[in-house]
A and B are shown apart, each in its own frame.
Chain A
Amino acid sequence: MVSYISLIFYILAFVHIALFLYSGSRNVRNLFNIFMMLGLLSNLYELIIRFMETGLAPTSTLYDLMLSLSLSFGITYFILYAKYRRPLVGLFISPFMAAALVIAIFYPPTITPSYPVVDSIWKVVHLPFIVLGTTFLVAAFVASVMYILQEAQLKKKKFGFIFQRFPALDTIGNINNTSLTIGFYFFTIGAVLGFIWMLQNNLEELLSSTKVVFSVLTWFLYAALIIFRRIKPLTQRQTAQWTIIGFVLIIITYFGVASFMLR
């Protein structure tokens, strides 16, 4: 199955970026990007094939959703790489991509959605935005973790290989800010479309689902963070800390989604 091939590429990519962290070799870094790209292409190929076979949107089943999520992580990585040329973000992103594919492999496409509202057009347009928004917000989380690690090393004056390879503090901060902003806007568009979808269906039942509760909570947290940063400048560290809390909420939301889709 193609998802196995993608998974192998992502695992190879992770191994290479870990080696780059240790050795700093440019060749290893280039190999990482090649494996990421190959993984991404096979991932995309599988989604296209699935669409041509079933005619369903690439977010119809948990299997498709996880494939899309993995693809979206790849797109997020390459957008950030094109802007900042810092491959180490991929050290933390590639495991997410691999994990999404492992979940996909665990829940093969034979399991079809049982929930009655899933075939709405609003869902088809809502989910890609949510998925892309999520992956950018996860990238913001990754940058936040990197920021906290790098800042701690600068404060403690420890200059190991992590310090050497990680980007400068302001670059990590910028990656965080960019990811946060893009992620939030995509997430907001997705949430609005999701709300329209919700209005067309059984509002009461949906409102009581864990997924929706945590989605709204997550959105509010990021909205507060973005608005608060405009009013009173936060330090990059505070931004990083709030982004990490936001990520925890995203994870809970996704568990909600998983239970919802498998219900």
Chain B
Amino acid sequence: MLVVLGLNHNSAPVTVREKMAIKKEDMEPIYKKFLSENNVQEMFLVSTCNRVEYYFVIKDYLCDKCDIHSPICDKCEIYSMVAANCNLSVEDLMNYTYFASGRQAVTHLFAVASGLDSLVLGEPQIFGQIKDSFDISKECNGMGVFLNRLFEFTLKTAKKVRTVTGISENPVSVSYAAVELAKKIFSNLSEAKAMIIGAGEMCELAARHLVGSHIGSIIVTNRTFEKAVKLAEEFSGDAVTFDRFASKLSEVDIIISSTGSENFVVTYDMILDAMKKRPSRPMFFIDIAVPRDIDPKGADVENTYIYDIDDLKSVVEANKKEREKEAKKAWDIVHNAAYAFDDQMESLKITPVIKNMRNYFEEKRNEELQKYCEKFKITDEKEIEHLNYLLTATLNKILHKPFMNLKEHATDDAKYSIAEAVEIIFNNK
């Protein structure tokens, strides 16, 4: 049975999360240690900046509802194992972590991989991180039949969530929303030029998003020219001195400004002058500074679009609501996938039963064939082959229906009497 013990941004503060975090290079010994435990059959670990999770496939899992200090409780054993590994007391670990087993654990994994449990709902990076975690587990021999199948289901479910729902479609960060808005004016950012006014954290983030969206080129300007040069170098752009940026305005399509200035840095006249030189090409101004850097009156100039931090925040809020709506659809997909996974794993349990039955019948067929040949002194190989063919065909005919019925009813929850079970298995209707 699959169990998960983990913590995330909701359950634990960063001080605890950093204690639990596992570096990639430290994973192998941890895998070795846990896999040597008697009841751990398979395992994999997820460690990202917002979450650390231990997934174990436990043999003969007993219960997780009994008292935590009971010696026969598997949950207690798992807590002790993990606590010893990360130098935390069991009590501490219990305070900051969550635990799930069986279908709940599977549902949790599918939800995590789909971004439903992320700090930013629907963020796509977690999908890659989960994939990497499975890869590491494979390298460390943590994967078996169960986890391999779970891996396939996880990928399938997360992909389905992304394609069927719009959970990751609308940007939910201010700088990303700004870049997405720019795409509503300039469809191909690789043909557009951007200017970043300021060299602070917000500007850096905006520049990062622009570069991620393949912006054609970037110009950076800042009162402290050295900072502008540094930021420009980071994004392979050009730096201009602060007193010269106004002359460059007409050359750029997107302007992102975030300085600490008390007055407008980009004035109405600057915008008017710039637009006179490029009347047919629009300009998009993004003002993420408080107090504002760009004169809002500039929006009266034709072909200019000015957005301030409040406009962007309202976009982000609307997008968040949109994602929450989509999350409901995503949860349905995740729950259904967890049931489907359960069904498939249950149906797999019948496979060894069928195999044993088949072996038994084949053994009997061979014995009877041998006896018959000895009794009637049949030595001709051709004749033996024909007899064998006849017996095998009859056997297949007889067993086909019961085996199909077994597979079909392998995941039934209902309890049957022996008579009922035989009736179901051999029912030829």
Q: Which residues of A contact B (CB under 8 A)?
A: 24, 150, 154-155, 157, 159, 163, 167-171, 233-237
B185 in contact with A170 (CB, 8 Å): yes
> 7 smallest A-B Cβ distances: which pairs?
A168-B187, A233-B280, A171-B187, A169-B185, A235-B303, A157-B311, A168-B184
A167 in contact with B303 (CB, 8 Å): no
A239 to B382, CA, bound (A): 90
B186 in contact with A235 (CB, 8 Å): no
A169-B184, A169-B185 are known contacts. Are A235 and B307 too (CB-CB below 8 A)?
Answer: no
Q: B184 — which chain A residues lie within 8 A by C-beta?
A: 150, 154, 163, 168-169
Taken residue by residue from 321 to 352, chain B's Cβ proximity to chain A (1 for < 8 Å, 0 otherwise) reads as: 00000000000000000000000000000000
Q: B353 — which chain A residues lie within 8 A by C-beta?
A: none
Q: A236 — which chain B residues lie within 8 A by C-beta?
A: 280, 282, 303
- Shortest distance in angstroms between A164's beta carbon and chain B's nearest beta carbon? 8
A233 in contact with B302 (CB, 8 Å): no
B187 in contact with A170 (CB, 8 Å): yes
Taken residue by residue from 163 to 191, chain B's Cβ proximity to chain A (1 for < 8 Å, 0 otherwise) reads as: 00010000000000000000111111000
Q: B185 — which chain A residues lie within 8 A by C-beta?
A: 154, 168-170
A237 to B299, CA, bound (A): 15
B307 in contact with A24 (CB, 8 Å): no
Q: Is B318 an interface residue (CB 8 A)?
A: yes
- Shortest distance in angstroms between A57's beta carbon and chain B's nearest beta carbon? 40
A168 in contact with B299 (CB, 8 Å): no
B183 in contact with A168 (CB, 8 Å): yes
- Shortest distance in angstroms between B41's beta carbon and chain A's nearest beta carbon? 42
A233 in contact with B187 (CB, 8 Å): no
Minimal Cβ-Cβ distance residue in A for B300: A155
Q: A159 — which chain B residues lie within 8 A by C-beta?
A: 315, 318
Minimal Cβ-Cβ distance residue in A for B166: A24
Interface size (B, Cβ < 8 Å)?
Answer: 19
A234 in contact with B186 (CB, 8 Å): no
Q: A157 — which chain B residues lie within 8 A by C-beta?
A: 307, 311, 314
A155 to B184, CA, bound (A): 12
Q: Is B144 an interface residue (CB 8 A)?
A: no
Minimal Cβ-Cβ distance residue in B for A84: B187
Q: A-B pairs with CB below 8 Å: how many?
A: 42
Q: B302 — which chain A residues lie within 8 A by C-beta?
A: 235, 237
**Can you list 30 contacts pairing A with B, beta carbon distance less than 8 Å?**
A24-B166, A150-B184, A154-B184, A154-B185, A154-B305, A157-B307, A157-B311, A157-B314, A159-B318, A163-B184, A167-B187, A168-B183, A168-B185, A168-B187, A169-B282, A170-B185, A170-B186, A170-B187, A170-B188, A171-B187, A233-B279, A233-B280, A234-B280, A235-B280, A235-B303, A236-B280, A236-B282, A236-B303, A237-B302, A237-B303
- Shortest distance in angstroms between A99's beta carbon and chain B's nearest beta carbon? 30
Q: B187 — which chain A residues lie within 8 A by C-beta?
A: 167-168, 170-171
- Shortest distance in angstroms between A200's beta carbon and chain B's nearest beta carbon? 43
Q: A237 — which chain B residues lie within 8 A by C-beta?
A: 302-303
A126 to B186, CA, bound (A): 39
- Shortest distance in angstroms between A85's beta carbon and chain B's nearest beta carbon? 10
A163 to B315, CA, bound (A): 12
A171 to B282, CA, bound (A): 12
Minimal Cβ-Cβ distance residue in A for B253: A170
Q: A235 — which chain B residues lie within 8 A by C-beta?
A: 279-280, 302-303
A131 to B167, CA, bound (A): 45
Determine which residue in B184, B188, B311, B315 has the highest number of CB atoms from chain A within 10 A of its CB, and name it: B184
Task: Select one of B186, B315, B318 contacting A168, CB under 8 A.
Answer: B186
A9 to B185, CA, bound (A): 33
Taken residue by residue from 75 to 101, chain B's Cβ proximity to chain A (1 for < 8 Å, 0 otherwise) reads as: 000000000000000000000000000
A24 to B165, CA, bound (A): 11
Taken residue by residue from 359 to 383, chain B's Cβ proximity to chain A (1 for < 8 Å, 0 otherwise) reads as: 0000000000000000000000000
Q: A170 — which chain B residues lie within 8 A by C-beta?
A: 185-188, 282
Minimal Cβ-Cβ distance residue in A for B305: A154
Q: B280 — which chain A residues lie within 8 A by C-beta?
A: 233-236
A233 to B280, CA, bound (A): 6
- Shortest distance in angstroms between A211's beta carbon and chain B's nearest beta carbon? 34
A53 to B187, CA, bound (A): 48
Determine which residue in B186, B279, B280 has the highest number of CB atoms from chain A within 10 A of its CB, and name it: B280
A170 to B315, CA, bound (A): 21
- Shortest distance in angstroms between A173's beta carbon and chain B's nearest beta carbon? 9
- Shortest distance in angstroms between A27's beta carbon and chain B's nearest beta carbon? 11
Minimal Cβ-Cβ distance residue in A for B163: A26
Task: Select one of B186, B305, B318 contacting A155, CB under 8 A.
Answer: B305
- Shortest distance in angstroms between A180's beta carbon and chain B's nearest beta carbon? 14
Q: B299 — which chain A residues lie within 8 A by C-beta?
A: 155
Q: B311 — which chain A residues lie within 8 A by C-beta?
A: 157
Given contacts A154-B305, A163-B184, A169-B185, 18 further A-B contacts (CB under 8 A): A24-B166, A155-B299, A155-B305, A157-B307, A157-B314, A167-B187, A168-B184, A168-B186, A168-B187, A169-B184, A170-B186, A170-B187, A170-B282, A235-B279, A235-B303, A236-B280, A236-B303, A237-B302
